[in-house]
Structures are given as C-alpha cells and as structure tokens.
Amino acid sequence: MPPATLDPVASAAIITRAREGRTPRPLDFPAGLRPRDAAEAYAVQDAVVRARGEIAGWKVGAASPQAQPARAALARDSVWVAAAGEAVALSAAGFAVMGVEAELVYELGADLPARATPYSAAEVLAAVVSVRAAIEVCDTRFAAWAQQGEWSRLADQACHGALIVGAGVTDVAAVQPLAQAVTLSVNGAVAVQHATWGNPAGDPLRLLVWLANEGARSLGGLRAGHWVTTGSCTGTVLVAPGAEVVADFPGLGQAVLHLP
C-alpha cells in the first residue's frame, strides 16, 4: 500500500503554532506529518512562509561546490536591513536558539520570474545591484536544536531565525567572493576568521543561478528587492543573550547585531 500523501499545510501549522507560542514546541513533526524527501520538505516550507506573509528574501547554500543546493524563502518579519553604519538590535527572548553566521547577501534590482528558458549566470548577475555583509541568526521551532532529520529541518525554513543585512558595495562586478576574507566576532573577541572564502559551497553565483532557475519556482521566482543570502562563511557559533555580533568582510562591509 503506497504511503499517504503528506498534507503540507497541516505540517506547517505544527511549527507555525509553536513559533507563535500557541502550542508547546514539538521534538519533531508527528510521524504522519513528517516530510520524507526534499519535495515534501519544500512543500511544507512554502506553506510556512505563505502563512508568515510577504517574501523579503531567500537563503541558499550547499555542502560542497558539487552538492545539490537547498533553499528557504524568508518572510518580511525576519529580515532586517540596517541603516548606514548602524547596528540592528533584536531581543534575545525572540529566539529559542541563537546560532550566528557571517554571510554575503545579494540584493536583486530586477525580477527573475520562473520561465521555461534557464537564466544564464550573466543574466542573474546583471540583476544584482549590491553585495552586502550579513549575519544570519539560526533558530528552530522545535524543542531541541539539530535533533531532527534533514527534511524536518529543511521544512522549518532551514533553521532560519533572522537575517541582518549590513553595509556593502554596489560595484557587483568587483566582488571576488572566493578571495574574500571574513571575521566573525562575538563581544569583541574573534570567534572565526578566514583569510579567504570560508563557504563550503564555493562560488555563490552557482547558488544564485540554481535559485533563479529551480529553487524559487514554487513561490513565483525572484523579485526586485529580494535579499539572497548565500550560506555561512564561518560555520554556526552559538551565542548567549546580551551578545554583540560583528560580521566583517574587509573591503566590502560589516553587519552588526545586538541581542539584548
């Protein structure tokens, strides 16, 4: 007998209610509502973000330069763009877990809607109007961190908590990510530092092209004004309430986050 078809809306409601504090956080989805593959995980994830509201951006990453990328759509209520030279302050009470990562974010200035003909790398890059330093806060709607299977974590917006977009550059062609240094500091002390690109996915342009051609299709494609963060350059560093986090990409920009 074939397995029952997953109801992604019912699955999404489990973690939506937990995020809103209406029900206790589960350890995982109930067995009958647990995604069994990437397609089911994305269907749940899409239902989660539709319930949250307008899409403001995306996260995309891969385990290696050859690995299949994965993505999550980010709702407006979890994306924060800092004013020039300023920090973003987010209450630590709003997170169950605070894992911080230094990332590069690409700002889109043109729509890249789903279409039959794949976008070329040149077309995708031409739609980018700035590259910024960013901090992603990783979080979970489950009762314990990283205790679920990969499809449950992917369904939970790939463990997204918040995206803080900092300073950057508009000369997109001049950005050389594979040669880009990065430092992630917590409370004034260096937590992680790389002299060159620390992102295991390799060239982020591959991720952007995959997102435009495949990853964003189910939600209508990429739009002008979306922010696309292309994965951690530092790994995930768990921090405590009260932390000040700085992601510094020398020659490009900084993002600063306070977690009172």
Find the CATH number of the domain harbouring 121: 3.90.850.10
Average pLDDT over residues 211-225: 97
Q: Is 41 domain-assigned?
A: no
> Sign of the CA dihedral 51, 46, 227, 190?
positive
DSSP state of 127: T
Q: Is 155 domain-assigned?
A: yes
What pairing do the DSSP bridges indicate for beta strands 189-194 and 160-169?
unpaired
Q: Is 224 domain-assigned?
A: yes
Residue ranges making up the domain that contains 166:
54-258
For residues 114 and 217, give the distance between their C-alpha atoms in angstroms, rounded to a whole number: 5
Q: Is the pLDDT of residue 2 over 70?
A: no
Cα 122 to chain center, whole Å?
23
Q: Which two tokens stand for residue 258?
A: 């306070």
Q: What is the pTM of this model?
A: 0.96
Q: Is 14 domain-assigned?
A: no
Q: Is the pLDDT of residue 1 over 80?
A: no
- Do residues 215 and 118 make contact, with C-beta atoms less than 8 angstroms apart? no
Q: Is 26 domain-assigned?
A: no
Total domains present in the chain: 1
Q: Is 39 domain-assigned?
A: no
Q: Is 149 domain-assigned?
A: yes
Average pLDDT over residues 190-194: 98
- Sheet of 253-258, strand order: 88-89, 253-258, 244-249, 182-186, 189-194
Q: Is 38 domain-assigned?
A: no
> Sign of the CA dihedral 165, 171, 172, 176?
negative
Q: Choose among 165, 185, 187, 169: nearest CA to 177.
A: 169
Residues 83-105: tens digit of each pLDDT: 888 999 999 999 999 999 999 99
